[in-house]
Structure 1
Amino acid sequence: MIHVHLGPLPPWFQLFLISAAANPLYHWLIFAEHPVPSTFRKNISTSVLTRKKLEALINEKTGIAVSLSNPYKVCDLKPLFGLLFEEHLQSYAWWGYCDNDIILGRMDQFLKPEWFDRYQIISTYSGFLSGPLAFYRNTPEINRIFRQVPTWEKIIKEPSCQGFDENLTGHPAGKKWTDILFFPFSIPGIISSDNYFRPGIKEILYQYHWKIKKRQAGKYGMYDMTDIAHAVERIQKNTALFTNLLASDIYFERTGLKKWVMVWDHGRLTEKITGKEMLAFHFRKTKAEIGDIPLPNCNKLNRFTLTNKGFHA
């Protein structure tokens, strides 16, 4: 699993590492501008990678000169990680990427071994290719599959984040009324695809939008990695798998879960109120409210909780 971070490390970074270290079957390659505490288990390797060195690496591997003045531009680079860091991946059959505003649960309990035998790309979102957490088979073809987007060079050169890893800003799919009106609305199918909760109307409409995009993959050309994943799956079955395993605070809002308490306990991640165990939790919205985290020695921490107010011991 590859994680690249530009800028100062956020206050929750050690908690992310603790949850990663509790998954010994997965090896983590952390590249950051600032030194990362190296007191964790052997399944986490850390390296200092400055902005300038990353820019030089991109130029070396792709021939493109880029400016990474915006740290969030790393999101557009995720599909390129297999190429950029290929020297680090030679002994691995798979690689993936993961954001740091995520707490991981027991990955081996949710990610089935047969998936890694069968598929080439695994998404932890059901509607589109998941930017916060996804997996790619480590082959030359898959590591360069991003090149199927004709404008990929232009996207990478753009200073601001374009959403290339998930859904490109300004993508035309689902924007026309004809695209919406003539698409079969399968509520039972959307409900049955949810791993954790019975979705309400907000979640149903949200997933409906992504089902439209899936059906239209390639209709307007290839814009992003979601287009590619849907298109290759259409051509050859069992190429890309879309699961609904990554929960988030925004997902909770859409499903009507107004109060929630995420409990990480010796590697197990559970939503306390519902009792649901989860693969991972993305606190995308909550992180804006998190300042300093007054927790005891993180290196020996075996349990902590997260609410919309922040982390607690």
Structure 2
Amino acid sequence: MRRRSLALAVAAGGLGAATNTARAQEPWPVRVVRLVVPQAPGSPIEIPTRIIGDRLSRSLGASFIIDNRPGAGGGIGSQHVAQQPADGSVFLATSAGIAIVPTLQPALNFDPIRDLDPVSLMCDVPSGLLVRNASPFASLAQLLAHARVRPGDLTYASGGVGSANHLAGALFAALAGVEMTHVPYRGVSQAVNAVYAGDVSLIFGSTLELLQHVRQGQARILGVTMPERVPALPEVPAIAEQVPGYAAPNWFCLMAPKGLPERLLNRLNAEMAVIRDAPDLQARMAEGAATARLDGPGPLAARLADEVPKWRKVVADAGIRPD
């Protein structure tokens, strides 16, 4: 009897292991997964999104594709995802701008904490105050001195009203006590090109996209938006060194329609935990002075809880209105 019980126990254990293996290898519930980017094509969010999407396509057996849905400072694409079924067929790949949408786009009746489930932060991305190489400003101190003598003369580009780079500029002007003119474009790529063409004075942009241009001698970064200097750019001062209290860190994240089944959320995060150490992702993040996260829903939920009220105050104080 003891031998028979032992044999049954071993068999049951083997069956359990086989069942777990089968579950681990179950196909993703849909064949095509849309990663909605609420910005125009060419935005820096697409850099980590494409790398992560390609890896997930291979490991989960579904095609993860980017679906650009710009408009309303990211509100159009974000609201679209919130209205989709929570079946693993669609996710939102967005930036820190998601924390601005509920304040600046009240007509959408959208709130990321209420209407979406956090999946994970993708990466932390410093932003920099960038000017073209032919700019007369060689330092942040020079730029600030000019702004104080000639109020409103400096212009700053953004990917649209309410975008993360718009709010970074508005916060800078408020804390520095200067006036700058905001010039919105239909996407970050157009805004950056306007800086290089000399149409506008500067932009607050993601280092993931901008550093390659700096290294090519097209532009220079006068300061970073993180509270302190970035280890990858030790020679570039933090803006807070000239403007005390300034901090506008950028970050990219993945969110899902409300009610994503826990088994899908857990499986997705297990796969992304492996991707976090992938050489191609690590190399691309390092190249852009960014830090890969892919650390699950908890840190993203905490980030949103902090950022939504912060940017609500910035929007109110600056009197920013939607287009």
Q: In which range does the TM-score fall when normalised by the shorter chain?
A: under 0.3
Question: Which structure dedicates a bigger proportion of its chain to helix?
Answer: 2
Q: TM-score, normalised by structure 2?
A: 0.25
Q: What TM-score results when the alignment is normalised by the length of structure 1?
A: 0.26
Work out which of the two has the higher radius of gyration on C-alpha atoms and give 1 or 2.
2
Q: Which has the higher contact order (CA 8 A, sep 6+)?
A: 2
